[in-house]
Amino acid sequence: MRSSRRLVAAVLAATFTVAACGSSGAGEVTQDSSAPLELWVRTTPGGDGEKGMKKLAAAFEAASGQKVQVTAIFDDFETKLSQRAAQKDLPDLVLNDSAQLGTMVSQGIVREVDLAAVKGSDQLLEAALAAGRATDGKTYGVPYSAQASALLIRKDWRAKTGLPVPATWAELITLAKAFTTQDPDGNGKADTAGLAVPGSTKRGYASWYFSNFLWAGGGDFVAAQPDGKYKAAMSTPESVAATTWFRDLACTAKVVQPGAATMDTPPTNETFEAGRAGMYVVGPYLLPRFDSALGKDKYEVVPVPAGPKDATVLAEGGSVYLMAGSPNRAGQDAFAAYAISAEGQKLGMAGEKAFIVQLPVNKTVDIGSVRPDPRWKVYADAYKSHARYAPSIPNWTAVRQSSADTVNALIADCSLNVGDELKKLDSKLTDALNQQGIGA
């Protein structure tokens, strides 16, 4: 049975086509509904994420009698998954970022999800369900967790300035300037910044962070066309204006932390918690860390200020991917169903640290019933009302990375012309879209 599974997995990995991971390809594997499930999750081994996933897997085992082996991997996750595909031995389940859907589909390593076979899929929020669909309209991921961005502000610093919670970009800059120039920590030194920004090119962080402002400003990285194709959109007037505003935070207002262009998220997190920056746009997963490092009374969680268009922020999350070639497709469906059930969602949210569900994707679950802390409701409201996922194109990573390279260059070199650089970026994005077969 295992050799049969490996044979089919080899065919799937070798062809790297979407068609190969449909039901016809995976149907050649002899099925055994009692076969143990191998589950990979993208998280730090030994960390809280692994503990939370093992807790969920154990509860699923107790409810179903189905055995699940959990493996936590963080560093080089995609590389190791590709190695397993090359070895003709894919795990049964992979829990990974929803933004990886397009890439995994294009690699032919996931199978299409039959939502009718996943009990409770009709209870998923539409925004979450849509994140599991590829550009062909088919579902390849079952979202189990969601998150959106909110603005963290040093509450004690803001009290010293006497300024209100910012509701617009202009008010955000005003508060950021006050945090930068008015010595809000009272140490007599000019060592504070208004806004923490992870502006590194690593894994596309500069683009990832900037998306919260680009979309709120009415711009876009790539714009979907009526025929399902995409067109590069970073040189549109709205995108140029949003990029100029963001670039000016570093070059004109000078309110971002020193070295922002070289920082990914770990040092940026440290910048905020160490009191070197007074604001930070980020997801809810850092609340336990900052509660411990700063204290809940030192900072507040508020909606990200609205831009010229609206208050759109980045939506992200995790999805259960049913890997192609599994000898236990019934077990795959059952685990996905448990992960999105009210019981699974509440269990996944439980605990102060070892939780794996940030915001529930099951519309019957009220986050306040598990987390009465009102700060979590700020995130939940942002997700339901203002959040947007990156499009599930075949290779979103290529778009994000090229965009990050340009945004990073603009905040690192204030002499560059924004319009010229964005025209160059659009040329690169057009090439990337054409290579993926989705260019307009």
CATH class name, domain 150-314+393-435: alpha beta
Using a 10 angstrom Cβ sphere, with 0-12 exposed, 13-18 middle and 19 or more buried, the burial of residue 182 is middle
pLDDT at 161: 97
pLDDT at 339: 98
Please give the C-alpha separations between residue 427 and each of 43, 223, 244, in angstroms, as whole numbers: 35, 14, 19
Note whether 2-147+315-388 and 150-314+393-435 share their fold: yes
Does residue 389 contact residue 131 with C-beta atoms inside 8 Å? yes
Tell which residue, 192, 360, 363, has the closest CA to residue 280.
192
Element (H, E) at 53: helix 48-64
Cα 203 from chain centre: 12
Q: Give exposure, 44-72, as e/b (b: 16+ Cβ within 10 Å).
A: eeeebbbbbbbbbbeebbeeeebebebeb
The separation between the first and the last C-alpha atoms of the chain, rounded to the nearest angstrom, is 45
For strand 222-224 and strand 230-232, is the pairing parallel, antiparallel, or unpaired? antiparallel
pLDDT at 13: 39
Cα 16 from chain centre: 24
CATH class name, domain 2-147+315-388: alpha beta
DSSP-derived 3-state class of residue 222: strand
| Cα 411 from Cα 125, distance rounded (Å) | 37
Domain ranges of the chain: 2-147+315-388, 150-314+393-435
Q: pTM for the whole thing?
A: 0.90
Does residue 228 contact residue 235 with C-beta atoms inside 8 Å? no
Q: What is the mean pLDDT of each run of 10 residues along the chain (440 residues)?
A: 40 37 54 97 94 97 97 93 92 95 94 98 96 94 98 98 98 98 97 98 97 98 96 98 98 98 97 98 96 96 98 97 97 98 97 93 95 96 96 95 98 98 98 97
Both structure tokens of 153:
């502000």
pLDDT at 93: 98
Element (H, E) at 156: helix 155-161
